[in-house]
Structure 1
Amino acid sequence: MGIRLTKDEAWKAVESAHTGILTTLRRDGMPIALPVWFVVDDHAIALMTPVGTKKIARVQHDPRASFLVESGERYVDLRGVHFTGRVAVVEDSDARGRIEAAVDAKYASFRPPAGALPAASQAYYAEHVFLRFLPDERILTWDNARLALRKS
């Protein structure tokens, strides 16, 4: 048995992950990797980001991106799923509403109360752009728990 996950196992691992790493490209080609809260939406990664973030300009200039979730601390516990693909701004209001509801449901208990944030932060997070990462067919996965480690 290898360490690779099946496609279904990979998506299950992504769905259960708390935080993902979205990597987009600056105009000069330099990759920028940032942690994001996300939800899985029909075998795509959906997320919200404040209107003023630079990642919006990056994906509008060059939609190529990658997305990674990983877990584990000990070598035998390391597990990850890495996708490459493209990011698009979600224009459809029904899709935006569905994404917002799903993100709110997943992360409600992790957010501070809106009133607890400084006024400038409240204003910054007031309006969102919705993004959808569409992975291509290549999925890189690993689950080191599947290794048959010898006991010495």
Structure 2
Amino acid sequence: MTIAQLRGRRIMMTDAERNTYLTEQRTCRVATVSPEGMPHVGALWFVWDGSSIWLYSLTRSLRWAQLRSDPRAAVVVDDGEEYGELRGVELSGEVRFVGEIPRTGEDCAELDHPERMFAAKYFGLDSLPHDERHAWIRLTPQAVRSWDFRKLSGPAQ
């Protein structure tokens, strides 16, 4: 997925760098907005499949309620301590809810791959146990921005 980024071309991640980064990172921040226009940002675990970010969210959360009301969201994955180490990706667009709500484990071919990735990444398991409190949100971004400030001082490490 090649997406044009108008500013910051020098520090922009390549497609391969972005895919590797999103696959390796563990926590994202999801931004939503209430019907009254109040923003909300919360941390969440995720998996990246190369074209979409999959969020496994509590269905009784403010994030869930706000996304049901307004499916627009922005997700940021970032890291780094010092200025020259900062890097991250921002994905934005409209979310789609996938599978039953809450997730009980019914057959859903679209969730086979994300659930296997999530189970392996966070629990070291082959399959995801379902607690009937979470469900899946898929964001296939309409806009992507990335940055890797390590590129300012030479090759990325």
Please confirm whether the aligned pair reaches a TM-score higher than 0.5, indicating the same fold.
Answer: yes
- Residue pair 1:47, 1:99 contacting (<8 A) in 2 also: no
Tell me how far apart the structure 1 counterparts of residues 75 and 116 of structure 2 sit (CA, whole Å): 21
TM-score, normalising length: structure 1:
0.78
- Look up the match of 1:133: 139
The DSSP-based 3-state class of the residue aligned with 1:4 is coil
1:13-50 deviation digits (Å, cap 9, x = unpaired): 11111101111111112221111100012410012122
* Partner residue, 1:118: none
Q: TM-score, normalised by structure 2?
A: 0.76
Question: Where do 4+ consecutive residues of structure 1 move more than 4 Å?
Answer: none
Residue in structure 2 matching 1:51, options 59, 67, 70: 59
Rg: which structure is higher?
A: 1
CA root-mean-square deviation: 2.3
Query: Which structure shows the bigger proportion of residues in helix conformation?
Result: 1
Find the residue that maps to 1:87 and give its secondary structure: strand
After TM superposition, the structure 1 = structure 2 runs for residues 58-137 of structure 1, keeping only pairs within 5 Å, are 58-91=66-99, 93-108=108-123, 125-136=131-142
Structure 1: runs of 5+ lacking an equivalent: 115-124
Structure 2 portions without partners, runs of 5+: 1-8, 100-106
Match of 2:152 in 1: 147
Q: How many residues align?
A: 135
Match of 2:140, SS state, is strand
How far apart, CA to CA, are the structure 2 residues paired with 1:98 and 1:148? 38
Q: Looking at both structures, which has the greater relative contact order when contacts are Cα pairs under 8 Å and sequence separation is at least 6?
A: 1
Kindly indicate whether the alpha-carbon contact (under 8 Å) linking 1:87 and 1:133 is maintained by their aligned counterparts in 2: yes
8 Å Cα contact 1:48/1:100 also seen in 2: no
